[in-house]
Amino acid sequence: MKIQRLYIGDFGILRNQTLDELDPGLVVIGGLNRAGKSTLMQVLRYLGYGFPKDGNLPPANSRYEAEADIRLGVGDVYNLRLNGHGEPVLRRIAGTKTDITSPKDLYALDSFSYGRLFTITLDELAVNRAISSDDRMRLQSILLGAGFREMLLVPQLEQAFYKEGDRIGGKRGNPGVKQFRPYFNMIEAGRKLKQKGLSQVQEYQDKQQELKNMEEAVKALKKDLDKLNNLVVQLDIVKNSYDNYLRVQELRTWLADNKDWEWEDGPTENLLVRVRSLWDDYTGLCKRIREKELQSGLNPEQEKQLLAAREEMANLLAEISGVQERIRSLRQRQQELDRKKRDIIIKIKEANSHWDENHMDYITRIKADNVEYNRLIELVEEYRELENKCKNQSDNLHKAREEFLALEDRAIEYRDSRPWLGVRKYFYFSLAFTFIGVLLSLLNPLSGIIVGVGGIVGSALFFILKALGSSASRRAAHEQEKELRAREARIRAEEGVLDQLRSDLKKAEETLNGYKDKLGLPRGVPQSVLPNHLMRIKDIQRGAAELDWLSDELEDIKGFIREQYSRYREFVDQFQGRDTGNADQGTDPYGDEDWNRIIQALRLWEDRLKDAEELRLLKVKIGSIRKEIMDIMEGYELEDSSLDESNNYSVNNSRFEERVSVFMERAQEAIEYARNEAALRESIQGILGSMSSDVIRRAFVPDSADRVNLVNAFMEKCREFASAEEAEREYSQTIKERDTKLEELEDTRESIRRLEDELKRLGTIENLTQGQRQIDSGRAELKVLADQYALNMTSAFLLREAGKNLLEGMKDSVMKSAGNIFSRMTNGDYQGILPSEPLLESDFQAILDEGSDPQTVRMLSRGTQEQLYLSVRLSRIMDIKPCLPIIIDDSFANFDSLHLHQSIDILSELANTHQIFILTCHGELVEKIAEAGHKAQYWLLEQGRIRASDCDSLSSHLRTLQKV
Amino acid sequence: MVGIKFIHTADIHLGSLLHIGGGKLPPAVEQAAVTATMEGFSRVCHAAIKNRVDFVVISGDLYDREARSVRAMSFFAEKCRLLEEAGIPVLVIAGNHDPLKEKQDLIRVPDNVKVLSGDRPEIVEIPGSKGDPIARVIGQSYQSGSLDKGIHYDYKVPDRDLWNIALLHTQLEAPSSRYIPCSLTQLREIPDIHYWALGHIHRYRDFSDDLPYIAYPGIPQGRDFGETGRGGCILANLDPFGQSQTSFIPLAPVIYKRVEINIDDDPTNVPGTLLDLVDRICLEGDRLLEETGDDEDYPIEGYVVEWTIRGRGAIHSQLMEQEQESMEFLLNSLREQYEGSSPFLWTDSIIIRTQSPIDYIDLLENSPVFREVDRIIDQCLEDEDMRERLMDELGIIWKGDGDHETENDLRFHMDDASLREILYRARYLIAERLTGRGEGS
């Protein structure tokens, strides 16, 4: 492999420098110090691998840039381009090879090996090279392992595995580095979490203890609070009931002072009130009785009498209206009798105008009952027949007579009966209207009066008008009378005939007359009147009989009235003596005045009876009151109870009153005592009432529900304070104290709640679980990496061991080649090179000659050391295929001329197969190369600029400047 | 003597959580992860009540200092109350994970619980139903996190008239142990002990078919892949007429399971794609679920599975080249596939151990480097010094000593199997690289 063209765009001092048509063999580049030789060497060293970031390279102006055309064999040309620190980019320019696709294929050697073997500086050849032990071993392996391609692969593979292992877990497989790290962190975090979870147990225990302590504290606080609450309750009751306390104290003192007032089962206040009320009633009644007695004027005898006659008086009073009714009836009947009497008189007069009331007896004596009305009718008829016979004798006479008689009857009737009839009718009508008026007046007095008066007046007018009409008739009757007279004359004429007849007729007439006589009828009246007359007589007789009956009845009534009068009179007189009787001697007992007087008297006594009755009732009442009082008092034993049992108002009044007074006074005391006792009880009850709740009771008497104890405890507590105000102050103080305790309790409880929450949290296994999960996950991932790490490191180990063993086996053959070069380079001074043990860790040894001990490099001169190392390297370089470019940077400075010549010869030979860049600042070296006659290409490097040169120019340039 | 029955349990690590990988877990798995150890103990109590035992012994590590919580203590007290109601005493010794020194009686345990002394072996007589003692329980608690004294020599009982049950929290037969060093022979030589109720080892082990019985009940509920299989407790039935026997009651609700799948078991059906691989894994998953018995008393609530994929196939290159994506795809697919299954089947992890078809014979013949590598691998497996050198190379992260009692969360232990696995993988990797198959070749 030969570099055909090299372009350095930007690398340290070298910029835009091109080395065209580089020789495939020996290329000598001369330049003084700081001209850019080492820079150029580094470009060549890293050309196939890229510029490393940590290679202590000279800085780029802006960005590393280099390019090279590389020839492989005859026609294959590749372009390698480097940019910055990036991998070199390979591009085929010419040729047909297909197996080279990357710079690795081109160089086929790792960067380390190429750097250590093919780029040779004085540093590389020094004994005390500043390289690490690993690099030394690696280098040693490279230097010893020359010869096998597979062997060349071994370090690569080993490094690859090692690097892979290193990439995963670093050199020491520390879990906390490289790719292990994230999982290390995860596991660590998990462990911490788990540890936290585990420490929760301890924390739980601590917290539990803390909780226990707090609960104890709460208990103590609650106890204190209970005490304070009790005290608050006590003080609250004390301050609010302090008046009750004082009252109880006062009442207890009073009751003790007035113990003798105590009356066990004594009268109640109501009873005393009742007694007092009764007593008031009693005294009131006494007063009323006295006043009544004075007012009524009744003496006890009278009272007694009156009360005894109470029933009779009641009867009399009740009968007054009856008597008055009878008096009214008497008057009515009297009036009726008078009216009937008048009617009878009228009838008498109508029956016989000569008659008057004095004929009453006469008429009543008429034995009308002996006269048969029918016989009389027969007789009249017979009389009429006789008359008719007479008529037969004289038609006209008879007729005239009959007419005469008829006319005469009518005339008589007109004369005798008409005014009477009219008056009578008028009377009847008036009566009727009066009656109707009275009836109506019951309903409506005005209409009754109007109808009654109107009817009477109307009837009067009617009958007056009718009477005026009858006057004309009478005048006509008078005319008829005259005609009768005429006709009588004629009749008399014919009376002869008629005499007989008349005789008969007379007899008949006599008979009839006899009847007329009997009946007190004048004879002159027509026979035909007789029956009617008879009827009138009978009517009168009946009226008279009626009058008699009425009179009798009146007498009866009068008798009754008189009797009643006497009775009333007697009744009244028995109370007042005959003081009312003087006046009534000879008085009409039927008159209103008498009766009024007697009734008035009766009413007077009736009032007195009422008084008496009232007095009686009052006395009964007072007796009842007295009895009630006594009954009440009897229920309560007094020392003096020898009061009689009389309820009499007047009996033992003063003693009764005295006893009642004593009773009431004692009762009053007892009641007051009882009232105070009740007040005491009430006050105590009030106290107990205010202590009704269990809380309050327990506050005073925790262990007892006994009321006495409770009250005593209350009183005891009250006694601690001189006033309610003092209790109030104590109460406020205690409240404050309690509130403070309460706050303290609440705070502690809150702390307990927090602790409980904390304990709940600590009781969970969340941290443990999560931690374990994290550890497991981390370990699972870490295990994969650890596996990979182990695999790579094992592989590296196996390869390293294998490589070492193989190197051991190959050392003779490897060292033989290097020994030959070394011998030639030292011009035979040394025979060969031996590796030291252990192979990879020790340096080489130089064989001076047969039989002598090998010399370690440290025993050699510096030049010989460098020649040894150069020999070993060149030996390895010769074994390694492909033939990579060799760069030698002023590595011959310590070589003497002979050894330099020998070395140049060896290099010149090597240049047949390898392209060799010799970088030097020594003109001598350039000259030596030329002198040896080896083909070489010369380049001058000056101030970072490279240009083609020749041996002389370059040598001269270097020498001149060296002298300068 | 009368026959007695008791439950022997230990290493409950009550309240400790299941180590389940996979980021956010489904609710059922998450729930199981939190409650499984408690459920395990609950089932132990159930077994005690159901079998009407005379007492229950807990041979240490009731709690886990790494997971001691109030909740766990409350739970223990609650369950012991049930036992108390059933008249069953509970005898407990403290182990290295819950030594008496760290004992924190936050929650009052019922009166039927007796924690034996840490000063010296303490004897407790167990009364029978008639009040007469029927057994003695002797034991000594750990005072601190370790007890390197052979306290079993002090386990002296008065006589053999009662059943003598010895509680010992020991790492039996360990060459040097911080946890009561002793041997089976020593235990058998202690006179008059009828039953050695051991604790500390988390796997059920029964060392004897006859008196004296010596047994580890194992952890009732495993918590990681170091405790695979189904945990449980021992029901001991000691019979004076020679019919004594012990039986293991499996009762763990959750089972850790490692399942290996060789993709080239059937050369005609090697998974070619990730989907094929998922199907292949699901066959095994389905089989696992189908094989789950129907345990009414102690049903299996779920499996936490680690799948290891081995064998050669074309899928290997995909798995290697897109390792992270492939892994994510497989994990997500499997978790989705069994989402909501009952019992649950949670894919904790998938280990890819597939290989590309490399001709090792040719390589061994022609590659001196590979030959040398192969030789060094053998050397690492056989030579302790070489192994130590290799372990030095593996760095701090692999400095775990394998003692789960002291294991650091940030380190891993390289046991023999793991080392062999790593070495073979490295061998394979180097072969790949040397033959130009692997990365960077």
Alpha-carbon gap, residue A908 to A901, rounded angstroms: 10
> What's residue A584's pLDDT?
47
Alpha-carbon gap, residue A166 to A670, rounded angstroms: 119
A660 is a domain residue: yes
For the segment A391-447, what is each residue's pLDDT rounded down to a tens digit? 777 666 666 666 777 777 766 665 655 556 667 777 888 888 888 888 888 888 888
The SS3 of residue A116 is helix
User: What b/e readout covers B207-228, taking b as 16+ CB neighbours within 10 angstroms?
Assistant: beeeebbbbbbbbbbbbbbebb
Alpha-carbon gap, residue A157 to A152, rounded angstroms: 9
Q: Is A216 exposed, middle or buried (0-12, 13-18, 19+ CB in 10 A)?
A: exposed
Predicted TM-score (pTM) of the model is 0.50
Q: Both tokens of residue A800?
A: 């390293």
> What's residue A850's pLDDT?
67
Q: Check if B136 contacts A (Cβ < 8 Å).
A: no
Alpha-carbon gap, residue A945 to A886, rounded angstroms: 21
* Residue that wins the pLDDT comparison between A469 and A351: A351
Q: Give whole-number Cα distances, B424 to A451, A798, B318, B377, B431, in Å.
A: 167, 11, 20, 8, 10
> What's residue A823's pLDDT?
87
pLDDT at A38 over 90: no
> What's residue A127's pLDDT?
62
**A780 and B349: CB-CB below 8 Å?**
yes
> What's residue B287's pLDDT?
93
Contacts of B430 in chain A (CB under 8 A): 157, 795, 798-799
**A187 and B410: CB-CB below 8 Å?**
yes
Percent of chain A with pLDDT strictly greater than 70: 87
* Residue that wins the pLDDT comparison between B33 and A352: B33
Query: CB within 8 A of A411, min separation 6: which ones?
Result: A477, A478, A480, A481, A484
**B373 and A799: CB-CB below 8 Å?**
yes
Alpha-carbon gap, residue A104 to A90, rounded angstroms: 10
Amino acid identity for residue A67 in this structure: E
* Residue that wins the pLDDT comparison between B355 and A165: A165
> What's residue A146's pLDDT?
40
Helices marked H in B160-217 — which ranges?
A: 184-189
Local structure of residue A489 (DSSP, 8 states) = H
* Residue that wins the pLDDT comparison between A913 and A392: A913
Alpha-carbon gap, residue B166 to B197, rounded angstroms: 6
The SS3 of residue B303 is strand
* Closest by Cα among B57, B73, B92, B98 to B405: B98
Partner residue opposite A764 with nearest CB, options B71, B389, B414: B71
**DSSP output for B39-104:** HHHHHHHHHHHHTT-SEEEEES-SB-TTT--HHHHHHHHHHHHHHHHTT--EEEE--TTS-GGG--
Q: Tell whether omega for the bond before A531 is within 30 degrees of 0, i.e. cis.
A: no
* Closest by Cα among A729, A671, A669, A711 to A247: A711
**B434 and A187: CB-CB below 8 Å?**
no
Q: Check if B366 contacts A (Cβ < 8 Å).
A: no
A451 is a domain residue: no
User: Based on the domain organization, do B121 and B218 belong to the same domain?
Assistant: yes
Terminal Cα distance for chain A, rounded? 39
CATH assignment at residue B22: 3.60.21.10
Contacts of B407 in chain A (CB under 8 A): none
Parallel/antiparallel/unpaired status of strands A844-847 and B133-139: unpaired
* Residue in chain A nearest B367 by alpha carbon: A150
User: Based on the domain organization, do B293 and B387 belong to the same domain?
Assistant: no
> How many CB contacts within 8 angstroms connect chain A with chain B?
171
> What's residue A582's pLDDT?
47
A642-670 mean pLDDT = 72
- Block residue for tokens 């993988």: B425
**A790 and B394: CB-CB below 8 Å?**
yes
Q: Check if B390 contacts A (Cβ < 8 Å).
A: yes
Partner residue opposite A802 with nearest CB, options B349, B376, B398: B376
A491 is a domain residue: no
Contacts of B15 in chain A (CB under 8 A): 765, 768
Across A650-654, A835-839, B84-88, the highest mean pLDDT is recorded for: B84-88
**B409 and A191: CB-CB below 8 Å?**
yes
A483-492 mean pLDDT = 71
User: Based on the domain organization, do B370 and B334 belong to the same domain?
Assistant: no
**A153 and B369: CB-CB below 8 Å?**
yes
Q: Which residues pair with A888 in a beta bridge?
A: A120, A918
Q: What angle do CA A555, A559, A565 make, to 5 degrees?
A: 140
Q: Both tokens of residue A745?
A: 């309790």
> What's residue A583's pLDDT?
45
> What domain count does chain B have?
3
* B138 and B190 Cβ atoms separated by less than 8 Å: no
Q: Both tokens of residue A308?
A: 């005894």
Contacts of A755 in chain B (CB under 8 A): none
* Residue in chain B nearest A176 by alpha carbon: B410
* Residue that wins the pLDDT comparison between A957 and A132: A957
Contacts of A768 in chain B (CB under 8 A): 15, 17, 67, 69
Helices marked H in A260-309 — which ranges?
A: 269-296, 300-308
> What's residue B155's pLDDT?
95
Q: Check if B350 contacts A (Cβ < 8 Å).
A: no
Confidence of residue A341 (pLDDT cuts 50, 70, 90): confident
A357 is a domain residue: no
For the segment A217-267, what is each residue's pLDDT rounded down to a tens digit? 999 998 888 888 888 888 888 888 888 888 888 988 898 998 888 888 888
Alpha-carbon gap, residue A862 to A408, rounded angstroms: 235
> What domain count does chain A have?
1
pLDDT at A641 over 60: no
**A198 and B65: CB-CB below 8 Å?**
yes
Alpha-carbon gap, residue A278 to A413, rounded angstroms: 94
Angle between helices A653-690 and A592-634 (to 10 degrees): 50
* Residue that wins the pLDDT comparison between A849 and A909: A909
> What's residue A148's pLDDT?
47
Percent of chain A with pLDDT strictly greater than 90: 8
Query: Which residue range is the domain that position A720 belongs to?
Result: 200-267+653-764
Q: Both tokens of residue A898?
A: 């002979």
Angle between helices A373-393 and A529-576 (to 10 degrees): 150
Which has the minimum average pLDDT: A297-311, A466-480, A614-628, A948-962? A466-480
Final residue of a structural domain among B329, B357, B385: B357
Terminal Cα distance for chain B, rounded? 77
User: Based on the domain organization, do B99 and B228 belong to the same domain?
Assistant: yes
Q: Is A115 exposed, middle or buried (0-12, 13-18, 19+ CB in 10 A)?
A: buried
* Closest by Cα among B4, B1, B14, B10 to B70: B14
pLDDT at A830 over 60: yes
Partner residue opposite A777 with nearest CB, options B21, B372, B426: B21
> What's residue A579's pLDDT?
52
> What's residue B441's pLDDT?
34
* Residue that wins the pLDDT comparison between A100 and A481: A100
The SS3 of residue B340 is coil
Alpha-carbon gap, residue A355 to A357, rounded angstroms: 7
CB atoms within 10 A of CB A593: 11
User: Based on the domain organization, do B408 and B280 belong to the same domain?
Assistant: no
Partner residue opposite A794 with nearest CB, options B70, B106, B393: B393
* A91 and A78 Cβ atoms separated by less than 8 Å: yes
Determine if residue A91 is left, alpha or beta; phi over 0 gives left, psi from -120 to 50 gives alpha, anything else beta.
beta
pLDDT of chain B, 441 residues: tens digit per residue:
899 999 999 999 998 889 888 778 899 999 999 899 999 999 999 999 999 999 999 999 998 877 678 888 889 999 999 999 999 999 999 999 888 876 666 678 899 999 999 999 999 999 988 889 999 999 999 998 888 888 999 999 999 999 999 999 998 887 667 889 899 999 999 999 999 999 999 999 999 888 899 999 999 999 999 899 999 999 999 999 989 999 999 999 999 999 999 998 888 888 989 999 999 999 999 999 998 888 889 999 999 999 999 988 888 888 887 888 899 999 999 999 999 998 999 999 998 888 777 777 777 777 778 888 989 999 998 898 998 899 988 888 988 766 655 557 888 888 888 899 899 889 888 888 887 765 543
**B396 and A803: CB-CB below 8 Å?**
no
For the segment A731-787, what is each residue's pLDDT rounded down to a tens digit? 999 999 989 988 999 999 899 998 888 888 887 778 888 888 888 888 888 888 898
Query: Which residue range is the domain that position B281 belongs to?
Result: 253-357
How many contiguous H segments (helices) and E segments (strands) does chain B have? Answer: 10, 15
Angle between helices A653-690 and A707-719 (to 10 degrees): 80
* Host H or E run for residue B361: helix B360-366
Contacts of A795 in chain B (CB under 8 A): 426, 429-430
Alpha-carbon gap, residue B394 to A173, rounded angstroms: 6
**B409 and A793: CB-CB below 8 Å?**
no
> What's residue A411's pLDDT?
66
For the segment A854-908, what is each residue's pLDDT rounded down to a tens digit? 778 778 888 888 888 888 888 888 878 788 999 998 888 788 888 888 888 888 8
A774 is a domain residue: no
* B169 and B96 Cβ atoms separated by less than 8 Å: yes
- Block residue for tokens 């080993």: A158
A112 is a domain residue: no
**B411 and A170: CB-CB below 8 Å?**
no
Final residue of a structural domain among B250, B268, B297: B250
CA distance B160 to chain A (A): 42
Query: CB within 8 A of A687, min separation 6: which ones?
Result: A237, A241, A244, A245, A248, A711, A714
A432 is a domain residue: no
* Closest by Cα among A941, A944, A925 to A31: A941
